[in-house]
Chain A
Amino acid sequence: MSTAAIADSHAADHGHDDHDHHEAGFWRKYFFSTDHKMIGMQYGYTALFFLAFGFYLMLCMRWSIAFPGEQLPWYLRLFLVDKFVSNGVMDGGLYNMFGAMHGTIMVFLGIVPLGFAAFGNYVTPLQIGAIDMAFPRLNMASFWCFFIGGIMMLGSFFMPSGAAQVGWTNYSPLATTAQLDYPSVFWTGQTMWLLSMVFIITSSLLGAVNFIATIINLRAKGLTWMRLPFFVWAMMVTGFLLLLAFPPLEVAAIMQLMDRLAYSSFFVPQGLLIDGQPFNVSGGGSPLLYQHLFWFLAHPEVYVLLLPAIAIVAEVIPANTRKPLWGYRSMVYGVLVLGFLSFIVWAHHMYMTGMGAWVSAFFQTTTVLISVPSVILLTCLLISLWGGSIRFTVPMLWATAFLPMFGIGGLTGLPLAFNLIDLHLHDTYYVIGHFHYVVAPGVLFGLFAGIYHWFPKQTGRQMNTFLGHLHFWPSLVGMNMLFAPMMVQGIAGFHRRWYDGGLSFPLTTEKPLFEAGTFFSKIFANGEVITLRDLNILMTYGAGVLALAQIPFIINFFGSQVFGKKTHSDNPWKATTFDWATPTPPPHGNFTSEPVAYKGPYEYSVPGDSDDFSPQWEPTKKEDSKPEEEPALV
C-alpha cells in the first residue's frame, strides 16, 4: 500500500496548503520538520537532555547536603561548578542557583515537554487517526519557542551573575531585587529566567491550541468522544490546563520583568530595605499578587505533569493485562472534574501568607475535593489489574510501579491540604518528599513506561528486556531510598533550603533516629547513634543508585535503535488503539488508508472473539450489528 499515492489522489479539492513535501531535505526533515512525529522526537530528546542536566544539578546539591563543606567529587566538577566556586565546595549562593534551576528545568524543560509535548505530539494524532496535527507549522513554531527558551535558561549559567537563584517559584520581592548589582540588569540570570519563561509559556500556549484543535476536529471517522483512548482525553484536559493557566504566569513574568527593567513596583511593597538602604522605587505593590498569579498556573501545572503519565499508564495496563480499562467512563469524567477543580485550589500553596478564614476554608475544601477524582483515576487503574492475565513486560513493570509510588505521593499530600497541619509542614522536606513522590517515581515511571511502550512503534525494534530490568529495579530502590527519608526528616522539622543539610541547626537535626547500640546502629554505624541528619547520607547514596541505574537505560535507548530485536508486526503488543494500525515506523501522513473506528478503545478479551484483542479499526465481526461509519455528533 502506498501512502503517498492514496493521499495525493484526494488532495486535489483543496490544494492550497504547501504541506506536502515528501522529499524533504535534511534540514526540513530533522530540524524544521512539521511532522508531528519528528517534532515529538525533537521534544523528547531535548527533554531527556534537560532531565539529565536537572538531575546533575540535584546530585551536586545532594552532595552538599550530605557532606557539607567537603569538596564535590571530580565527576561532579567536570563542568559548571568551577565557574562559580574555585575550591569545588558548594556554597549557599551556588546551592540556591542549582536549586532554582533544578526546579525550573525539571518542571518546565523536562517533564512537561516529555510528557505533554513529546508523547502528546507523537501519540495523539496517531491515536485519533489523524494524518498530522491541525496546524503543523504552529507545531514547529511551538518547538522552536521552547528550544529558544531552554537555550536561554541554560545560557544564563554563563552570565556574570550566574543563573537565577531564588527558587523555581521566583517569589518577589526577592526575585525583583536579586542580582541588581550588575552593570546591565538585562543580562542577569534572574532576568533571563523571566524572558525564557515567556518563550516557554508561548510555546506551551501554541502547543495547547494545536492539541485541542486537533482532538476536536481531526478525529477519524467513527471515533466519537467516548471511543477516544483515555490518553487522548488526558491530553485534551492537559491542553486546557496549559491554555487557561499559563497566561496568568505570563502576566506575572511580564510584570516582574517590568519591575526589574522599568523599576515599577508591582510586587514591591512600600519601605523595602535592601542591605539597609531604601530600595529606590515607589513601592505600593503587593508580593502576594505575584504568589496568586504564580500559583494560579503552578497548581494546574502539577496536573500537567501528572496527566500524561497517568494516561500512558492507562494505555500500558490494558495492553498488558489483556482486559479492558476498568471504569473508562468514570476515568474520563474524573479527569474532566480534576481539570476543572485544579483551577480553584491554588492558594493551598499560600497558607503561610496569613490568609483570612474564608479564603482558607474555601481552598481547603476544594483541595480535599480534588483528591476524589485523583483517587478515582488511581483506583480504576488498580482495579484494571484485577483478574487480568498480566504480562510483565518492561513497560508494564514501570506502569505497575507507578501505582503505589503515585499513591504514596498522593496520600502524603492530604495532610498538606489542611491549613493547620500545613503550617507545621510548610517548607520542610515533607513537602519535598510528597512532591517528588508524585513527580519522580510517579510521573517519571509513567513516562519511562511510555518510552518502552512506544519505542517499537517509533523504531521498529524492541528495547532490550534485560537492560530494561537493570534499569527498573535499581531505579525503584534508589527512588525510595532518596525520597522516603524526606518524609521522616520533614515531620521532624527539616527546612527545605538548608544547603548544609541542617548542620547549623543541631537541636533539630541531631535528634537520634536510632539510639546507640540498637539493631540498625550496630549494622550501619558501629553501634553509634544514628541521627536524623545521617539520613542525608542514605538519601545521597539513593541518588547515586538512581544515577547509576540510568546508565543501562541510556545504553538501551540508543543501542536498541541500531541493534534492537526487530519487531515482526506493526502491533507488537497486540494493542487495540489506532497508534498500532500504522506502518512501523509511521510514515509522513501516518496511515496507509483512511482509518475508521468501529468500537471503543479497549476491547480486550471480548467474549466469543477468537483473539484476545479486537482493534478499533476492525469492523465488528457479528453479522447483525451494522458497523457505524458516520461520525456521531459531539
Chain B
Amino acid sequence: MADSPEELQKHMKTYTIVGITLILFTFITVGVAEFAKTGSFALDVAIGLLIATFKAGLVAFIFMHLNHEKPMIYRILVFTLFFAAGGMVLFILALKDPISL
C-alpha cells in the first residue's frame, strides 16, 4: 500500500465518501422498509438484504482494504465464506426439504 502523504490524503477522501454513502444507504434501507413496501414479503427481504450486502461490501473492500489484499487472505476468506454460506444453505435445506415427511 502506498504510504505517501498525498496518497493518504486521497484515501481520507475516499473514506469520507464511503462513510457518507453508508449513512445514505441506511436512510434508504429504513425508508424502503417502512414506507415503500413492494407488497411482496420476499421481495422486501431481498431488497433489504441486498442493501445490507452492498453496505457490508463497502466496509469490507474499502475500510478493510480487501480491494488490494494479498492472495493468502483471499484464499482464507473464500473458504470461510463458502463454509458459512454452505452451512446456511444446508440448514435451510434440512428444514425445507422438498421430499420429506
Residues of chain A at the chain B interface (Cβ within 8 Å): 216, 240, 244, 248, 288-289, 292, 296, 340, 343-344, 347, 354-359, 362, 634
Q: A244-B79, A244-B80, A343-B86 are in contact. Are A292 and B100 (CB under 8 A)?
A: no
Is B3's CB within 8 Å of the partner chain A?
no
Residue B93 at the chain A interface, CB threshold 8 Å: yes
Which residues, 28 to 87 on B, are CB-close (under 8 Å) to A? Answer: 71-72, 79-80, 83, 86-87
Bound-complex Cα distance A201 to B80 (A): 18
The 4 lowest CB-CB distance pairs between A and B, nearest first, are A356-B97, A356-B100, A357-B99, A359-B94
How many contacts A-B (CB < 8 Å)? Answer: 47
8 Å CB contact of B99 from A240, A344, A356, A634: A356
**Contact yes or no, A248 B97, CB < 8 A:** no
Inter-chain contacts of B79 with A (CB < 8 A): 240, 244, 340
Judging by beta carbons under 8 Å apart, are B90 and A344 in contact?
yes
B94, B98, B99, B101: the one within 8 Å of A292 (CB): B94
Asked, given contacts A358-B98, A359-B97, whether A344 binds B86 with beta carbons under 8 Å apart, the answer is: yes
Given A244-B79, A354-B101, check contact A216 B72 (CB 8 Å): yes
Given contacts A244-B79, A288-B95, A354-B101, 11 further A-B contacts (CB under 8 A): A240-B79, A343-B86, A347-B94, A355-B94, A356-B94, A358-B93, A359-B93, A359-B94, A359-B97, A362-B93, A634-B72
Cα of A514 to Cα of B98 in the assembled complex, Å: 48
What DSSP secondary structure best describes chain A's contact surface? helix
Q: For chain B, what secondary structure do more than half of its interface residues adopt (helix, strand, loop), or is it mixed? A: helix
Complex Cα distance, B72 from A390, in Å, reads 40
A residues near B99, Cβ cutoff 8 Å = 356-358
Closest A-chain residue to B71, C-beta based? A634
| Minimum CB–CB distance for B35 against chain A, Å | 31
Complexed CA–CA distance, A344 and B100 (Å): 20
Question: For B98, what are the chain A residues with a Cβ–Cβ distance below 8 Å?
Answer: 356, 358
Number of residues from B at the complex interface, CB < 8 A: 17
**Nearest neighbor of B91 in chain A, beta-carbon distance:** A292
Interchain nearest-CB distance for B67 vs A (Å): 20
- Some 16 contacts from A to B, beta carbons below 8 A apart, are A216-B72, A244-B80, A244-B83, A288-B94, A292-B91, A296-B87, A343-B87, A347-B90, A354-B100, A355-B97, A356-B98, A356-B99, A357-B99, A357-B100, A358-B97, A358-B98
A357 touches B83 (CB 8 A): no
**Which B residues have a C-beta under 8 Å from some C-beta of A?**
71-72, 79-80, 83, 86-87, 90-91, 93-95, 97-101
Assess the B90–A248 pair: CB atoms within 8 A: no
Per the bound structure, the CA–CA distance linking A289 and B87 in Å amounts to: 12
Please indicate the chain B residues that have their CB under 8 angstroms from the CB of A347 in the complex.
90, 94
From B72, B83, B90, A359 is in contact (CB under 8 Å) with B90
What is the minimal beta-carbon distance from A344 to any residue of chain B, in angstroms?
Answer: 6
Q: How far is the CB of A335 from chain B (nearest CB, A)?
A: 14
With both beta carbons as reference points, the residue of chain A lying nearest to B86 in the complex is identified as: A344
Which residues of the partner chain B approach A216 to less than 8 Å between Cβ atoms?
Answer: 72
Question: Are B87 and A248 in contact, with the CB atoms below 8 A?
Answer: yes
**What are the residues of chain A within 8 A of B94 when measuring CB–CB?**
288, 292, 347, 355-356, 359
Q: Give Cα A118–Cα B3 distance, bound, in whole angstroms.
A: 42
| Chain A, Cβ-Cβ closest to B80 | A244
Complex: chain A residue closest to B94, CB-CB: A359
User: How long is the Cα–Cα vector from A450 to B46 in the complex, in angstroms?
Assistant: 53
Q: Which of A216, A288, A358, A359: most chain B Cβ within 10 A?
A: A359
